[in-house]
């Protein structure tokens, strides 16, 4: 049987995940308050700028006096600084729990151990590192942002059963099945940005929005070093935000932002995206863009649909080792996470 610390931290991780797509750039956090082995209050960070998980859990406790001497389980170290909300550490100290059990230390330099130290200085026992790996997977975007100062990058493509992502003329629409395409729109709603190269933008006239799912549209990012994006494209003509990276000009036309990057390097673009608040990026580019990102080791995860179609010849899919898969409609979905 799983010990009680793991049991309640697992519950905090489950609650935290409910904030997916709503709390960035903050991490997802869940909190469970336990007295005599019974949950007396729980909560999670629901929306950026709103109350943090600890405050929502405290507010969920009917008799606040019960928090004194209780155990508080949190998926991430509580904050110690004033941001959109006051420090959660101070509020916990006010209610005098006997212990705080944490999955991960917060990598943000504004916190990073300061919350744990302050709790201990106020005679509250702290246990950290419970289900640490699971906690880091949950907030993988946040950890990459803090540690590497770039977005968490997810590569996504569909390939045929014989390993092609497009025909010889570059056409590639509907290699994957309808169920897979719906899932991709769900993924789009969970990430801050979505990236393609200029050739894909021109050939597919992509909209890159969320149509088959409910949720916010990601900010579109186009790699266009020589300003070859065609005027007729949806990218330039619809009202959505687009960031067009090039090596020639800086200008803004409504929601279309042309950003000069010199030298035009993927590393520089990733850092600029991070500074602009693009904390996760779904890459749906063609073979050239995908292979360049792989070559530069600038990816964290790959999601690959393998369909039953066969092209016999065409543009080869990137070469990433694939192992286990799950079935999505008629397709196989492979998920590869680096350093996992």
Of the CA atoms within 13 Å of residue 268, those in its CB half-sphere come to 12
54 is catalytic: yes
CB 208 within 8 A of CB 223: no
The catalytic residue among 42, 54, 159, 191 is 54
Residues annotated catalytic, as ranges: 54
């Amino acid at each position: 049987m799983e010990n009680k610390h793991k049991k309640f931290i697992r519950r905090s991780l489950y609650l935290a995940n409910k904030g997916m797509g709503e709390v960035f750039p903050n991490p997802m956090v869940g909190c469970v308050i336990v007295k005599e082995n019974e949950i007396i209050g729980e909560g999670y960070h629901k929306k950026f700028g709103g109350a943090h998980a600890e405050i929502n859990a405290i507010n969920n406790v009917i008799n606040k006096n019960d928090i004194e001497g209780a155990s508080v389980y949190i998926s991430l170290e509580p904050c110690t600084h004033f941001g959109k909300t006051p420090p959660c550490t101070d509020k916990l100290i006010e209610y005098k729990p006997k212990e705080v059990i944490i999955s991960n230390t917060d990598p943000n330099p504004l916190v990073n151990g300061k919350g744990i130290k302050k709790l201990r200085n106020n005679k509250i026992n702290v246990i950290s590192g419970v289900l640490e790996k699971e906690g880091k997977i949950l907030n993988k975007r946040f950890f990459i942002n803090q540690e590497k100062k770039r977005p968490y990058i997810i590569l996504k493509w569909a390939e045929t059963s014989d390993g092609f992502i497009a025909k010889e003329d570059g056409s590639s629409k509907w290699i994957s099945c309808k169920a897979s395409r719906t899932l991709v729109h769900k993924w789009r709603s969970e990430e801050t940005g979505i990236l393609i190269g200029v050739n894909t933008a021109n050939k597919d006239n992509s909209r890159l929005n969320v149509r088959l799912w409910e949720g916010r549209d990601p900010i579109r990012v186009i790699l266009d070093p020589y300003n070859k994006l065609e005027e007729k494209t949806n990218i330039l003509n619809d009202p959505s935000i687009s960031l067009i990276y090039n090596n020639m000009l800086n200008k803004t036309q409504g929601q279309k932002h042309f950003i000069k990057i010199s030298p035009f390097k993927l590393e520089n673009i990733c850092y600029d995206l991070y500074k602009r608040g693009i904390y996760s990026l779904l890459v749906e580019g063609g073979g050239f863009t995908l292979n360049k990102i792989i070559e530069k080791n600038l990816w964290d995860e790959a999601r690959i649909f393998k369909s039953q179609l066969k092209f016999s010849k065409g543009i080869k899919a990137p070469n990433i080792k694939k192992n286990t898969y799950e079935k999505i409609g008629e397709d196989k979905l492979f998920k590869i996470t680096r350093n996992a």
